[in-house]
Chains A and B, each alone.
Chain A
Amino acid sequence: MNAFDGLITLIVFLPVLGAAVIAAFGRRESRVRLIALAALAADLALAVYAWTVYANSGPIVEQLGAYGSDPWIPGINASYLLTIDGLSMPLVFLTALLGVVAVLASWHVRERVREYHMWLLLLLTGVQGVFVAGDLLLFFLFWEVELVPMYFLIAMWGTGHREYSAMKFVLYTLFGSAFMLVGVLALRFAVGSFDMQVMMLEGQAGMIRPAFLTLEAISALFLIAFAVKLPVWPLHTWLPDAHTDAPTAVSVLLAGVLLKMGGYGLIRINVGMFPGETERWAPLLVALAVISVLYGAAVVFRQTDLKRLVAYSSVSHMGLVLLGIASLGAVSVTGAALQMFAHGTITGLLFLVVGIVYENAHTRHIPDLGGLIARMPVVGAVFILAGLASLGLPLLSGFAAELMVFLGSFAVYPLATALAALGIVLTAGYILWTVERVLLGPLKARWRTIRDASAQDTVAMALLVVPIIAVGVYPALVSDVFRDGVTRLTGGG
C-alpha cells in the first residue's frame, strides 16, 4: 500500500482548510463546532491511514508544492519537504487525536466561538508541521507558526492573569527560537543543505565541519530552544502560568502535544544530528532532568489549584523524558518517546477532567472540593484512572514508558535514575491523594446539585482512555514504531 501524493500535506493543512471554511460559512455557533470537528476527525482518519501506510511500507516522504521540485526559498535553497517516520508517526496521530478531543472539550466555550475555533485549527497545523518537517528551515517555520494562535487562545479565552501568561509563553518560546535560528543557519552552512535527512547522515558519520562556532556550541543553541519548550528547570516558569490560565482544551493541547515539540526536537536534532556532542552535554542534561523531576515533585506538594498541580506534575514527567533522551541508549530514547506519547494522553486527560470539574464547580481550589464522585461518577472514575496512569500503574500506558526509561538509563546513570524514580512516584502519588480529596469523603452541601460530564465530555474522555489502556496492555503498538524511528536516528540496526 502506498500513500497518495499529498497525504502529509493534507494532514498538516486540513485544519487550515477547516478554518477557511469556518471563516466562509461559520455564521452559526453550532455549525462552527461541527465544521471544526469534521475537519479534525478527517485529519485523525488520515493520520490512521498514514499509520497503516507506514506499517506496510515504511517512512513516507513528500516533496511538492506550487513550484515542483524548485526550492521554496530559492536564494537559500530551503525546500518544501515533509517526512513521516517512526518518530513522527505516533506524534502526528496524537496531535490529530487531541485535536478532536480539544474541539469536544470546547463545547462549553460560548464567547467568540468562530474565532476560537479558527485559532485552534491554525494551532494544530503548526504543531503537525513541526512533527513532519523534513527541511530544517520548514521545521523552524512551523515551530514559530504555533505562537500567535496560542497567544490569542490564552489571552482571549483564558482565565486569571491570562494576558500575562500568554505573553510569557510567547516570549519564552521566542527567546529559545532566537538561538535555534542561529543554530539552524550555522548547521546549514556546515552541511550545505537544509535537508534534515542529510544532516542526520552526516552527523552520524561525524562529517559535519562547521566553518565557525564549534559543534558543541551549535548543539547547545538547539538545546536552549528545546529545553524552554520541554520545559526543563530553570526555563520552565512559563508552563504553570500558561497551563493555569489557558482554557481547558488549550491546556490539553499544551500538555498533550506542544511540550512534545521540545522532546521531539531533542531526539530528532540533538540525538540524531549531534550524537557525539549530545553525549558530552549529557551529564549536564541528566542533572537538569533530575532537578526538573524533583523540583516539579516538590512544588506539586504546595499547590492548592488543581490545574497548577497537574502543570507542575508535567514538569516532573518531562524531566523523565529528558533523562531518557540524555541516557542516549536506544531503549532509553525509545522510552522517552513513549513517555511523550503516554504523557500526552494521560496529562491531556487529567487537564480535561480538571477542566470539567472547574466548568461545573467554578472553582479549582482543592480544599473547597470533596466527595464529588457521588454526583460525578463518570468524571470521578476517569479522574482516578488518569491518576493511576500518571502514577505508573502496570497495564496503563505510563508504566511501560517509565519502565523503559528507567531500564535504559539505570545502566548509565544509576543514581540519577533512582532519584528520578523517587520523584515520579512522589508526584504521582500526590496526584492520586489529591484525587481522593477531590472525589472521596463527604459530599459538601454546595455540590449537591453539581452535574456530571456532558455527552461531548464523555466522548472526549473516552478518546483518551482508549489509548491509555491499549498502550498499557500492549505497549509494542506504539513503542515498536518509535523504536524503528529511534534506531534510524541513533545509527543502530
Chain B
Amino acid sequence: MPTPIDAGSIGIDFAHLAPEIILTLAAIAVVLVDLVVRNKQILAWLSIAGVLASGVAAIALWTSGAGGASYSGVVITDLFGTFFKIVLLGGTLLALLLSPAYVNRRLSRFHGEYYGLLLLSTVGMMLLVSVGELISILLALEIQTFALVALIALLKDARSTESALKFLLLSAVATAVMLYGMAILFGLTGTTFIADMAVAVEARVETGGLANNLALIIAAVLILVGFGFKISSVPFQMWAPPVYEGAPTPIVGYLSVASKAAGFAVLVRLFATAFGQAGLDALDWPLLIGVLAIASMTLGNIVAIVQTNVKRLLAYSTIAQAGYILIGVAAMGNGAAGVYELAVSGILFYLAAYTVSNLAAFGALVALSPPGGGTDSIEELTGGAARSPLAGIVLTVALISLIGLPPTGLFVGKIYLFYGAVQGDLWWLALIGALNSFVSAYYYLRPVRRLWAGGGATQETDARRSPSLRASMALSAAGVIALGIIPPWAISLATEAASAFSP
C-alpha cells in the first residue's frame, strides 16, 4: 500500500546519494588527470578505484538498511535500488577491466574521454534506478544517453558514427513517446511522483472513474514503448543490431547489460508502484507486457539464426533476453500472495546473471578479435580456443548460460522467472519462453563450435598481454558458474531487494 509523499519533512541526505557522488567525483578526476599525465593507464586504474569506492558506499547503504525518500521525495533509497546500483557497478567494473586492452589499441587518443564518459553514464543509470519522480527519471535518462552516444561514436569511423547517430535519433524518438505517456499520466493523476500517482490511481479506480480508461491505457502503452528502447525489446529494438556492430566492443558489452538493467529497474518500479495492484482493475497490463515478451523473444531468436556477425548475433540475443525478463514483469501483475516478490526477485536474479554472462561473452570477444579489429564474423572465431584457451572457455560458458543450460546462472534465472510466471497463471508464457530457449540453442552453439574447431588464423591475441582483461573474463565466468551452482546467496539478496515492493 503506497503512501503519499510528505514533501515538507524530507531534507537533503548526502549519504543516500553517496555512491553517485563518489562516482561523479571520480569521473571529474579522470578528465582532469587526463590533462596532466602522460601514462594514460593511470586513468583506467583511477576509474576502477572510483567504481570500487562507489561500490563500497553502495554496500554500506545496503547493510545499514538506510532507506526512505530524500530530496523532497525525488530520490528513493531502498534495497531494490541499491541492488541495482551494486549490479550496475559490478557490470561497470567488469567493463572497465576489459577496456584497456581495447582502448590502448583502438582508442588511444581518447583515454580520458572514454573512462570519464563511461563513469558518467553509470552515474546516470544509478540515478535512474533510485529516482521516484517522472521529470527526474527523464533527466537521469538523458545523462546516461548522451554519455553513451559519445562513447559509441568514439571509434570515429563510418560505422561507429552512423550507429551513434542512429542511437541518438531513436533514443530521442523513444524518449518523446515516453514523455507523451508521462504527460498523459500526469494529467490523469495530477502528480509527477510515482508514489502519489499510485494513490491517485487507486482512489479513482475505487470511484470507478478509471475503469477501462482509454487515457490510462494509452499512457501505459506509451511509457512501455519508450522503455522498450532502454531494454532493447520490441517495438524499439531496431537500434541494437547496427549499434552493436558499429560501437567499440567493450562499450557494447557495457551498454548491453547496464542499459538493460537500469531500464528494467525503472519499468518495474513504475509498474509496481504507479499502476500496482489497483491499476490492474483499470488496465490488464500483464497481458500487454506478455505480448511484448513473446514478440521480443520470438523476433530476437528467429532473426539471430541468420546472423553471420557475432556482435549482431549478440544484439538479437539481447532482444530475446529482454523478452525473457519481460515474462517476469508480466508475472508481477498477479495478485496472489508471494507471487509478486517472487517475480521481482526473479527479474533481479536474472539481470545479475545476465550481466556476468553477457560481459563474459564480450570480454572473450575483445580477447579474440585480431589486432586491427577484424570483421567480427563468426568464421573469425575459428580456432579461437587454441589461440586463447581462457577466452575459449569463457565464451563457451557465457553462451551456454545464454541458452539457459545448467550449470550456469541463467539456467537458474530462467527457472526462477518461469516459476514466477507459472505461479502467476501465465503457464503459456513460460511454455513459449522455454520453446524460445530451444530455438536459441541453434545460434548460440554455432560460435561455440567454431571456437573449438581446428585451423583459423594464428596471430597473437590480446588475452595474453592484458592481465586486467584476463581478470575480467575469469571473474565474469566464475560469476556465471557460481550463480548456477550455489544460487542461494544471490537469491536471498534478490528476495530482500524485492521485498521493497511487497504490496
* B-binding residues in A (CB < 8 A): 66-67, 70-76, 78, 115, 137, 140-142, 144-145, 147-148, 151-152, 155-156, 163, 167, 170-171, 174-175, 177-179, 181-182, 185-186, 188-189, 211-213
Contacts and interface: CB of A to CB of B under 8 A. Distances in A.
Interface stretch (B138-146, B295-303, B411-419): B411-419
B152 interface: no
A178 B435 contact: yes
A66 B489 CA distance: 11
Nearest to B435: A178
Contacts of A174: 437-438, 441
A178 B449 contact: no
B419 A175 contact: no
Nearest to A180: B434
Interface string B439-471: 001100100010011000000000000000000
B400 interface: yes
Contact of B487 (A73, A156, A179): A73
Contact of A182 (B400, B431, B487): B431
Given A66-B486, A148-B405, A182 B442 contact: no
A75 B445 CA distance: 30
Nearest to B405: A144
Given A156-B453, A170-B445, 10 more contacts: A73-B415, A155-B449, A167-B442, A171-B438, A175-B435, A178-B434, A182-B418, A182-B434, A185-B423, A189-B423
B498 to A, nearest CB: 9
B23 interface: no
Contacts of B423: 185, 189
Contacts, number: 99
B492 interface: yes
A163 to B, nearest CB: 6
A144 B406 contact: yes
14 contacts: A67-B486, A73-B491, A74-B491, A74-B495, A148-B400, A152-B452, A155-B449, A167-B442, A181-B430, A182-B418, A182-B427, A185-B418, A188-B419, A213-B427
A170 B399 CA distance: 15
Task: Say whether chain A's binding surface is mostly helix, strand, loop, or mixed.
Answer: helix
Contacts of B346: 75
A20 B170 CA distance: 49
A156 B454 CA distance: 10
A181 B429 CA distance: 12
- Chain B CB within 10 Å, residue with most, of A75, A144, A147, A186: A75
A120 to B, nearest CB: 15
Contacts of B400: 148
A151 B445 contact: yes
Contact of B345 (A75, A137, A155, A213): A75
Contacts of A171: 438, 441-442
Contact of A181 (B416, B434, B494): B434
Contacts of B437: 174, 178
B434 A179 contact: yes
Contacts of B416: 73, 75-76
Interface of B: 342, 345-346, 400, 405-407, 411-412, 415-416, 418-419, 422-423, 425, 427, 430-431, 434-435, 437-438, 441-442, 445, 449, 452-453, 486-488, 491-492, 494-495
Contacts of B492: 74
A140 B495 CA distance: 24
Nearest to B430: A182
Given A73-B491, A151-B445, A186-B422, A141 B406 contact: yes
A188 B453 CA distance: 41
A144 to B, nearest CB: 5
Contacts of B495: 74-75
Nearest to A75: B491
Contacts of B486: 66-67
Nearest to B403: A174
A60 B189 CA distance: 62
A141 B411 contact: yes
A66 to B, nearest CB: 6
B493 to A, nearest CB: 11
- Chain B CB within 10 Å, residue with most, of A73, A115, A155, A174: A174
Nearest to B341: A75
Given A75-B342, A145-B406, A178 B488 contact: no
A188 B421 CA distance: 13
A79 to B, nearest CB: 11
B345 A181 contact: no
- Chain B CB within 10 Å, residue with most, of A144, A148, A155, A177: A148
Contacts of A211: 425
Contacts of B431: 178-179, 182
B488 A170 contact: no
Contact of B438 (A76, A141, A175): A175
Given A73-B416, A144-B406, A186 B427 contact: yes
